[in-house]
Structure 1
């Protein structure tokens, strides 16, 4: 009896790997135009980060907050597009989008700061889910990384 190529053990990782490419491309598709706006000090990103810095009681630091966020998104984009660093890009994108979702939920930004039906918030949620998916697909890499880190931390403690 012949098995379908979709059910063979080798096909599933390849299909999942192809889906991580799609997640990486979508992340880049979202982040790159948004970062152009952030780096270019377009009115809407400046407005959003002005609201956030005022709410965080650090007025006057809009530019720093906006540029650090944009830089983290650019780094996440580069890392997620490269197959050998895709896990790191997904971890960074997850962190950045966790912050974005948090601020949309708890700050005066709200879920629909652009009055467009919450598109910005929904996009952050989609990137968040896609990042978790990439991390799940690359979980063996993550577990190996964590194991190496634990080993290093253990050897640092024993030598102290």
Structure 2
């Protein structure tokens, strides 16, 4: 991997991990906006806490070079679900946030897609076949 590609990957891995980690406080503390979102989507407290745990593991995996590809896959899945929830149930703007959470979801999704692409050769079995 070229140095510039490696630096881009690391910058995106750190950015995505920071975004995911900063939302954990709100999910785990039961912040009003977080409770509203997960209740409206029909997942309640179990979904809120479960998603928080998944995001915590995703962040950790993104920050470990050997598992960044796996963290990227998990991040893509989590953010695809979040974005679909915004587009189908919640709306772009939630509780007057001006679309802030939706934008963060898009940033993490695009960041994880880029990380997965840049680290595709590290994926066991499949990676050796990718160019």
TM-score w.r.t. length of structure 2: 0.91
Q: What's the Cα RMSD here? A: 1.6
1:50-61 superposed matches below 5 A = 50-53=39-42, 61=43
Greater relative CO, 1 or 2 (CA 8 Å, sep 6+): 2
**Any idea what SS the aligned residue of 1:145 has?**
coil
Q: Distance in 2 between matches of 1:106 and 1:82?
A: 34
CA drift at 1:147: 7.0
CA drift at 1:146: 3.1
Structure 2 segments unaligned to the other structure (5+ residues): none
The count of corresponding residues between Structure 1 and Structure 2 is 128
Q: Distance in 1 between matches of 2:107 and 2:127?
A: 29
Indicate whether 1:136 and 2:117 are aligned. Answer: yes
Q: Distance in 1 between matches of 2:7 and 2:45?
A: 37
Q: Who is 2:95 aligned against?
A: 114
Q: Who is 2:54 aligned against?
A: 72
Indicate whether 1:89 and 2:71 are aligned. Answer: yes
CA drift at 1:36: 1.2
**Any idea what SS the aligned residue of 1:114 has?**
coil
TM-score w.r.t. length of structure 1: 0.75
Larger radius of gyration: 1
The runs of at least 4 consecutive aligned structure 1 residues that moved more than 6 Å come to none
Q: Distance in 2 between matches of 1:79 and 1:50?
A: 28
Q: Who is 2:105 aligned against?
A: 124
